[in-house]
Amino acid sequence: MALPLSAGTGQRRSVRYVIGTVAITLLLSFSSAHALQIFRIGTGGSTGVYYPIGKLIALAITEQARDPESPLHGIVGVAQNSAGSIENARAVIIGELEAGLVQADVAADAYNGQRNFATLADSGKLRAIASLYPEKFQMVVRSDAGIESFGDLRGKRISVDELGSGTRQVTNAVLAAHGLSEDDLRPQYLKPAFTDDKMRNGQLDGFSMMAGVPMEAVTTLLPVGVRLLPIAPEIAGKIHATYPHLTPGVIDATSYPGIPVTPTVEVYALFVVSSDLDDTLAQALTEILFSDRTAALLRQGHPQGKQISVESARTGLTIPLHPGAERYYHSRLDNRP
């Protein structure tokens, strides 16, 4: 399979490539006669969870590519910033990314050609490599903003993320369940990386994010004073009834020092590819994702990495597995004595 060396011209201006030291070393060490292939993984904003997890997966792929016997030999993994789940799914489908991290509800929309994907040809090509970890909806507000509940968001300056993000889609669902819409807010459309200064200087009252926990965008604001708005269990049940892939969940008290247990809604983060990806490559990707080396990288690199395991890799899937991934799970898990 030919993996293009450069991004498509239709990609967002804000997108940039990040190649780690190992990838650069690999680029320099390969023979000039060897054709290098870039394997682009769509992630999210730099202060979320998709980006650091995506970087670790890209690093694991690049390190495995050192082995001349590996099907991944010659591939350089690259973690690429993006607007988030919707953009990642769309880019994988049309071939501007080789893989991406995508909320399970967004993946289901793509596979079924619904909502943001209703007019996108071949959206049913999206396939899962693995389910990674549960993402929690987090409405983060300044402690001094006078916001105790979702009803208090009226007229407040709240960032709901940008177009192309799964966060914005879930935010709208949560607002609707509380009898609100974006029009009731003074909405801003920023990635969390661009909310930090505005939260600190009082130009922003809060922001929403669908992400694993802990999230850097929250931990860095703890000294400023922030809280998470709880979603009452009956409201979470209402959301689940309308959006079956969004289920009631909890952000526990160990996630952020000083912030109590917070009921919310959650959905799994999926590692996805296109059905066009070669079966052998897909199987090799799945195998390296759950290798001991990658497990160590994930544990050491980010707290959320500890939850990524082969035992839970098929939990919360909303789209079919890629046949290569399915073959890996069959050989690794389904044939155990």
Mean pLDDT value across residues 204-216: 96
Mean pLDDT value across residues 163-184: 96
Q: Mind listing the pLDDT tens digit for each residue in 65-81?
A: 999 999 999 999 999 99
Residue 163's pLDDT is what? 87
> CA 278 → CA 26, 68, 72, 90, 196, distances in Å?
23, 18, 11, 19, 41
Whether the per-residue pLDDT at 28 is higher than 90: the answer is: no
Higher pLDDT, 13 or 251: 251
Whether the per-residue pLDDT at 27 is higher than 90: the answer is: no
Whether the per-residue pLDDT at 6 is higher than 60: the answer is: no
Q: Mind listing the pLDDT tens digit for each residue in 124-142?
A: 999 999 999 999 999 999 9
Q: Write down all domains in the chain, each with its CATH number in brackets.
A: 17-132+270-334 (3.40.190.10), 135-267 (3.40.190.10)
Report the percentage of the chain scoring pLDDT > 70: 89
Residue 225's pLDDT is what? 97
Higher pLDDT, 44 or 9: 44
Q: Mind listing the pLDDT tens digit for each residue in 38-49?
A: 999 999 988 899
Which residues on neighbouring strands pair with residue 100, listed in sequence order?
A: 42, 272
Considering the entire predicted model, what is its pTM? 0.88
Average pLDDT taken over every residue of the chain: 90
Report the percentage of the chain scoring pLDDT > 90: 85
Q: Mind listing the pLDDT tens digit for each residue in 89-117?
A: 999 999 999 999 999 999 999 999 999 99
Residue 336's pLDDT is what? 67
- Could you tell me the pLDDT band of residue 34, with boundaries at 50, 70 and 90? low
Which amino acid does the sequence have at 225? G
Mean pLDDT value across residues 24-30: 48
Whether the per-residue pLDDT at 14 is higher than 60: the answer is: no
Residue 315 burial (CB count, 10 A): 14
CA distance 306 to 322: 24
- Could you tell me the pLDDT band of residue 192, with boundaries at 50, 70 and 90? confident
Q: Mind listing the pLDDT tens digit for each residue in 314-326?
A: 999 999 999 999 9
